[in-house]
Amino acid sequence: MSDHVANAYLFSGRAGSFLHVAGRYFAAAVNCQNKTQEGPCCDCTVCRSIEQNTGVHFVEFASEKIGVDAVRQWQELVRYSHENGRLFVSISWAEGFSTEAANAFLKTLEEPPSGVTFILLTRQPWSVLSTIQSRCQHLVFPVLTGTIDKEETLTFPYLSIESLKSMSLLDRLAWVQELAKDKIQAKTVLGLWLDELWKNRGSESYSQAIEQVIENISQMKYNLNLRLHLENLVMRILV
Ligand SMILES: [Zn+2]
């Protein structure tokens, strides 16, 4: 596994996809002293040190705003070689880089220190600067079964964007009538759509659809006529 480890990853997923856990597990899977085909042992000194965040093989940074000072701190940390395994630096809220911080970090990504892997975590991959994204391997994490909050469970059949596209306008509107009955459900569906659109990004129509969905989500904080807005969205999206 360690032979194929990249210098930078972008882990994205919605709430409930446990990106932090995935980062730790990855660090353990690479560094574990007793690893098997099934993965790390979760019991050796290395696995335990990763679990306890002692900073030898795994360091975690979590700040909603990432300034240039933080980036300098990481650069200092990774300056020294890591001969006893690979150091993983986990960075939450990857969408929060200031311009200055992003520029400084790009220099690190362009000449990555050996033995170090950065893992950027985000719930909003569409907000992560494209210059940073292009230097990371992007892994999209699904929501794990059984970890969705109760209020996120839909009480009516979910329709993906793909299935929506093949439906008549009347059927779309009938479905929206159900969707609009509950704001939280509507938000959940729009979040799932964003994931789906994001995986197919690249074409102009999908980029436009991403913008439309984001606009709709951000409007939800106002006391608007939800049904009207959602109707408007499903009539315009990808047609
Ligand atoms: Zn182990």
**pLDDT 10s digits, 153-205:** 566 677 888 888 888 888 889 889 888 888 877 888 888 888 888 877 777 78
Cα 164 to ligand 1 centroid, rounded to whole Å:
46
Low-confidence ranges of the chain (pLDDT < 70): 1-3, 15-17, 81-83, 142-156
Cα 41 to ligand 1 centroid, rounded to whole Å:
4
Cα 135 to ligand 1 centroid, rounded to whole Å:
29
Do 173 and 126 sit in the same domain of this protein? no
Distances (CA, A) of 105 to 74, 93, 100, 169: 9, 14, 9, 47
Do 160 and 121 sit in the same domain of this protein? no
| pLDDT in the model for residue 117 | 94
Which of 141, 172, 189 is the endpoint of a domain?
A: 141
Cα-to-chain-centroid distance, residue 88: 17
| pLDDT in the model for residue 157 | 74
In the chain the first and final C-alpha atoms are separated, in Å, by 44
Quote the DSSP letter at residue 142. Answer: P
Cα 35 to ligand 1 centroid, rounded to whole Å:
6
Cα 36 to ligand 1 centroid, rounded to whole Å:
9
| pLDDT in the model for residue 206 | 82
Please identify which residue in the block is written with the tokens 């969905």: 213
Cα 85 to ligand 1 centroid, rounded to whole Å:
12
Cα 184 to ligand 1 centroid, rounded to whole Å:
41
Which of 122, 141, 160 is the endpoint of a domain?
A: 141
Do 46 and 110 sit in the same domain of this protein? yes
Cα 66 to ligand 1 centroid, rounded to whole Å:
32
Cα 43 to ligand 1 centroid, rounded to whole Å:
5
Cα 82 to ligand 1 centroid, rounded to whole Å:
18
**Domain with 225 in it:** 150-236
Which of 123, 141, 159 is the endpoint of a domain?
A: 141
Q: Where are the alpha helices (DSSP H) in 149-225?
A: 161-165, 169-179, 183-199, 204-219
* Residue 210: other Cβ atoms inside 10 A: 18
Do 164 and 120 sit in the same domain of this protein? no
Cα 131 to ligand 1 centroid, rounded to whole Å:
35
Do 36 and 6 sit in the same domain of this protein? yes
